[in-house]
Amino acid sequence: MGTADVRVLIEALMQQQLSEDQVALLQGFLANVEQPGQCHRQIEEAAGKPPCPHCGCQRSHRCGQASGLQRYRCVVCRRSFNASTGTPLARLRLREK
């Protein structure tokens, strides 16, 4: 579904008088919608440009992507990392689950 289709759907919903039950049903549906990689995006957005988890240096630069996550390389220790390095989500094989 494209962006234009979503806008048409939202405009149609705004013109309707939904009951409280219908609103609750719609909220429940939207809360359970999952997109592939949504978890990765939320982690990256929350972390911003993270400091190096190995040496704590704030100086790093972008260095490609791996498994859908932005990779960074520390200027000081030259080690690479991503937003999930040092978290319980690091090295998970089935991250989407």
pLDDT digits (tens, 9 = 90+) for 36-88: 556 666 666 666 777 888 898 889 898 898 877 888 999 999 999 988 787 77
**What pLDDT shows up at residue 90?**
76
Taking the model in full, what pTM does it have?
0.52
The SS3 assignment for 80 reads strand
Report how far residue 81's alpha carbon sits from residue 10's, in angstroms, rounded to the nearest whole number.
40
The CA-atom distances, in angstroms, between 95 and each of 52, 66, 70 are 22, 13, 15
pLDDT over 90 percentage in the chain: 10
pLDDT classification of 35: cutoffs 50, 70, 90: low
Of the candidates 19, 20, 1, 81, the residue with the CA atom closest to the CA atom of residue 47? 81
Contact 54, 44 (CB under 8 A): no
Report how far residue 13's alpha carbon sits from residue 20's, in angstroms, rounded to the nearest whole number.
14
